[in-house]
Structure 1
């Protein structure tokens, strides 16, 4: 007889493609994960994985088992959802993947409100400057700056947000006044490392008129701290500016960008009422927080 807990370990290894990666998610050491896989293989009388220098790949038997294990996982999640819905609250774990600008300046407030409203909910925010792989269950849902072009995914636009050129008051005090785009020449630009831009929507260099980035990082908070330190000028999310009172916008009428956040979920999750309701609550929270922070900036201006 197959133990569900062993199937859970099987799914973790299939998604992480390594014992150590699966162990980190399960809070088990790699040796224990290996023993559990060996136990499941013995119970089924089949080899589930093939080990290679790249990690653990599904063998033929493992590939056949995968959809059944996922169905069992969804059935258990559905049972938990039904009990939670009856009680009128969310519970369990929710992992959200997001680009680090959203993860740093929007999600903490939004998720804090969700946790306050639903004490049984455990939220994990994964902030990474790249696209998330939902098919490997790196996250339950992900926020992106452009909709994916392929994959078995459901995509929902959350909200537009605005970005402007900004610099610290100290930096501007040390340099000649910037009254037009022509005055931007010769200033150090802070922005993304060009060959590490993972989405075309993050390529802001052209709008500054600069040809190179003088100080670069793949991290939005690092860029913001460099601006706060007076290292140059750069494009900043309007919703991040309230967290950096040293910064002021430059040529806001001439240098302005609008981008959007998109909520992405695995197509199979459409059957999950819990994830559907959580997605709606998350979307509402992000829209409110973007509006609140951008309104604060207008009031301060």
Structure 2
């Protein structure tokens, strides 16, 4: 290619990852017509159609599929060059997007945003706290907190912390229902939990109690919604202790008989981990979690 333009390739990657010009434009902080022109220019330069335009969005053609890994390699080289040869690895400026499960994101990371803003006023922090997984390979986030370590991709992970979960209920619910003296008594009670076919990780399947048959009649894909329903007296709910233990409207039920443990992992893309802004944010998350270890794993 005589006149290869890196910005055209950035537009290609953004459209390939999002499937839509408007979404790609948002990532690139450009308008969708500019992104469309860059895609057209790249296709003209290559002499190949890279996307099929469908009602559902832009889909990679075989030529686009072939270009994708090469474009990602060039992107990685560009990031490394900025981090190792330029000043980007020293400057605490720019955007850092953090993806996390809604409970951990809302109850642990969100309160840290004030500290981040005070320490690094030039950073723009974006928190994606929602049910589901963000894809670091597709650059949907720069840092992710996940329920398991990734098994593929150019990702670097470390165990952030283990955490405990217990069975909780509101006193109003317990006072109006039969007493719970042992695990067998749980079968007579109403449970709040996840919607089975919307579980995005096997670690969220809490209702595996072979000695007790329980029925989850109140279901939500959102953990915070489950917490609020439990506080309102809707039923029994398995909740992380780091969320529920400090709630004055909840009490543990059968604390010695019902206890689960899971882990949280901190994951970054290998290309980004050396950048100063990424190091600063990950360090703050690690320090906050390890400095309050009792909140996650108990005494």
- TM-score tier, shorter chain, comes to 0.7 to 0.9
Counterpart of 1:49 in structure 2 is: 50
Are the aligned partners of 1:23 and 1:30 in contact in 2 as well (CA < 8 Å)? Answer: yes
With over 3 angstroms needed to count, the CA separation of the structure-2 counterparts of 1:76 and 1:8, relative to structure 1, is farther
SS of the residue aligned with 1:115?
A: helix
Greater shift, 272-281 or 123-132, is seen at 272-281
For residues 198-209 of structure 1, the aligned pairs below 5 Å read 198-207=200-209, 209=212
Q: Which 5+ residue runs of structure 1 have no aligned equivalent?
A: 85-89
SS of the residue aligned with 1:135?
A: coil
Report the count of equivalent residues.
Answer: 290
Deviation at 1:94, TM superposition (A): 0.6
Deviation at 1:281, TM superposition (A): 2.6
Superposed CA deviations along residues 218-262 of structure 1, whole A, max 9, x for unmatched, are 100110111111110010111112563211111111111111110
Counterpart-to-counterpart distance in 1, 2:229 and 2:120: 37
Greater shift, 133-142 or 235-244, is seen at 235-244
Deviation at 1:26, TM superposition (A): 2.9
Q: Which 5+ residue runs of structure 2 have no aligned equivalent?
A: none
Greater shift, 178-187 or 246-255, is seen at 178-187
Deviation at 1:5, TM superposition (A): 4.3
1:71 pairs with 2:77: yes
Are the aligned partners of 2:159 and 2:263 in contact in 1 as well (CA < 8 Å)? Answer: yes
For residues 107-118 of structure 1, the aligned pairs below 5 Å read 107-118=109-120
1:19 pairs with 2:21: yes
More helix by share: 1
> TM-score with structure 1 length normalisation?
0.85
1:263 pairs with 2:266: yes
Counterpart of 1:227 in structure 2 is: 230
> TM-score with structure 2 length normalisation?
0.85
Counterpart of 2:239 in structure 1 is: 236
With over 3 angstroms needed to count, the CA separation of the structure-2 counterparts of 1:62 and 1:227, relative to structure 1, is closer
Are the aligned partners of 2:227 and 2:239 in contact in 1 as well (CA < 8 Å)? Answer: yes
Are the aligned partners of 2:167 and 2:238 in contact in 1 as well (CA < 8 Å)? Answer: yes
Counterpart of 1:87 in structure 2 is: none
Question: Which of 175, 179, 182 is the matching residue for 1:180?
Answer: 182
Give the CA RMSD over aligned residues: 2.6
Counterpart of 2:88 in structure 1 is: 81
Greater shift, 121-130 or 20-29, is seen at 20-29
With over 3 angstroms needed to count, the CA separation of the structure-2 counterparts of 1:19 and 1:70, relative to structure 1, is farther
Deviation at 1:126, TM superposition (A): 0.9
Are the aligned partners of 1:160 and 1:258 in contact in 2 as well (CA < 8 Å)? Answer: yes
